[in-house]
Chain A
Amino acid sequence: MSSFYLRVIAANRVFYGGLCRSVVIPDMDGEKEILAHHEDLVIAMMDGEMRFQEEGSAEWKHAVVGRGFAQIAHNRVTVLVETAESPEEIDIARAREAKERAEEQLRQKQSIQEYYHSSASLARAMTRLKVTSKYL
Chain B
Amino acid sequence: MRQRSLIAITAALAAGALTLTACGSRDGGDKNGSGSGSGGTTVTIGVDAPLTGDLSAMGLGIKNSADLAAKNANKKNYVKGVTFKIEALDDQAQPSAGQQNATKLVADKNVLGVVGPLNSSVAESMQKVFDDAKLVEVSPANTGPSLTQGPDWQNKKVRQYKSYFRTATTDAIQGPFAAQYVYNDAKKQKVFVIDDKKTYGAGLAATFTEEFKKLGGKVVGTEHINPDTKDFSAVATKVKKSGADVVYYGGEYPQAGPLSKQIKAAGAKIPLVGGDGINDATYGKLAGPDSTGDLATSVGAPVETLPSAKQFVADYKAAGYKDEYSAYGGYSYDSAWAIIEAVKKVVDDNGGKLPSDARAKVTEAMQNVSFDGVTGKVSFDEYGDATNKQLTVYAVKNGAFTPVKSGTFTG
Partners in one complex: no
